[in-house]
Amino acid sequence: MIYNQSKMIFLIAGSQSPILKKQLNRLLGERLSAIDDFNLSRLDGREVLAQDIAYEASLPAIGAPRKAVVIENPYFLLKDKGKNKIDKEQKYQPLVEIIENPNEEIDLIFVSDSVDLDEKSEVVKAIRKKGEINIIPELDASRWFQYGKSYFRSQKAIIDNDALRELIERVNGDLNAFINEANKLILYKNQINLIDVTLMVSKPLENNIFAMTKALFRGDKAAALDIFSDLRTNNVEPITLVSMLANQFRLMSQIRYLDAQGYSLGEIAKRLGMPDFRIRMSLQDSKKLSRFAITRNLDTLYNLDLNIKSGLIDRYYAFELFILNFA
Under the banding of pLDDT at 50, 70 and 90, the label for residue 34 is low
pLDDT average, residue stretch 291-301: 87
Quick one: what percent of the chain has pLDDT higher than 90? 33
Q: Are residues 213 and 232 in the same domain?
A: yes
Dihedral sign computed on CA atoms, order 74, 76, 80, 81: positive
CB 144 within 8 A of CB 114: no
pLDDT average, residue stretch 245-252: 87
Asked if residue 105 belongs to a domain, the reply is yes
pLDDT of 290 reads 85
Which CATH number do you get for residue 187?
Answer: 1.10.8.60
Q: Are residues 119 and 15 in the same domain?
A: yes
| pLDDT per residue as tens digits for the range 5-18 | 778 899 999 887 88
Provide the number of structural domains found in the chain.
3
pLDDT at 43 over 90: yes
Give 231's strand partners.
none
Under the banding of pLDDT at 50, 70 and 90, the label for residue 68 is very high
Q: Are residues 320 and 239 in the same domain?
A: yes
**Mean pLDDT, all residues of the chain:** 86
pLDDT of 152 reads 93
| pLDDT per residue as tens digits for the range 266-289 | 788 878 877 777 788 788 888 888
Q: Are residues 13 and 131 in the same domain?
A: yes
pLDDT of 4 reads 66
Q: Which domain holds residue 126?
A: 9-135
pLDDT of 249 reads 86
What letter does residue 129 receive in the DSSP assignment?
Answer: H
Asked if residue 3 belongs to a domain, the reply is no
pLDDT average, residue stretch 222-247: 87
Asked if residue 244 belongs to a domain, the reply is yes
Q: Are residues 125 and 169 in the same domain?
A: no
Under the banding of pLDDT at 50, 70 and 90, the label for residue 252 is confident
CB within 8 A of 132, min separation 6: which ones? Answer: 3, 4, 7, 9, 10, 11
Quick one: what percent of the chain has pLDDT higher than 70? 97
Q: How far is CA 51 from CA 71, 217, 271, in A?
A: 13, 57, 34
Q: Are residues 99 and 145 in the same domain?
A: no
Q: Are residues 237 and 289 in the same domain?
A: yes
Q: Are residues 91 and 164 in the same domain?
A: no
Phi-psi category of 111—alpha, beta or left, where left has phi over 0 and alpha has psi -120 to 50? Answer: beta
Asked if residue 245 belongs to a domain, the reply is yes
CA angle 318, 323, 327 (to 5 degrees): 125
Q: Are residues 189 and 224 in the same domain?
A: no
pLDDT of 232 reads 86
Q: pTM of the predicted model, to two decimals? A: 0.57
pLDDT of 37 reads 63
Give the whole-angstrom CA distance, residue 154 versus residue 152. Answer: 5
Which of 154, 183, 200 is the C-terminal boundary of a domain?
A: 200
CB 50 within 8 A of CB 92: yes
Which of 171, 200, 229 is the C-terminal boundary of a domain?
A: 200
pLDDT average, residue stretch 69-81: 91
pLDDT average, residue stretch 281-310: 86
Asked if residue 1 belongs to a domain, the reply is no
* Minimum mean pLDDT range among 166-170, 207-211, 250-254: 207-211
CB 195 within 8 A of CB 159: no
Asked if residue 2 belongs to a domain, the reply is no
Asked if residue 87 belongs to a domain, the reply is yes
CB within 8 A of 233, min separation 6: which ones? Answer: none
Under the banding of pLDDT at 50, 70 and 90, the label for residue 3 is low
Which CATH number do you get for residue 101?
Answer: 3.40.50.300
pLDDT at 38 over 80: no
| pLDDT per residue as tens digits for the range 87-143 | 889 999 999 999 999 988 899 999 998 888 999 999 999 999 999 998 887 777 778
* Minimum mean pLDDT range among 20-29, 154-163, 279-288: 279-288
Asked if residue 119 belongs to a domain, the reply is yes
| pLDDT per residue as tens digits for the range 166-205 | 898 888 777 878 888 999 999 989 999 999 998 888 777 7
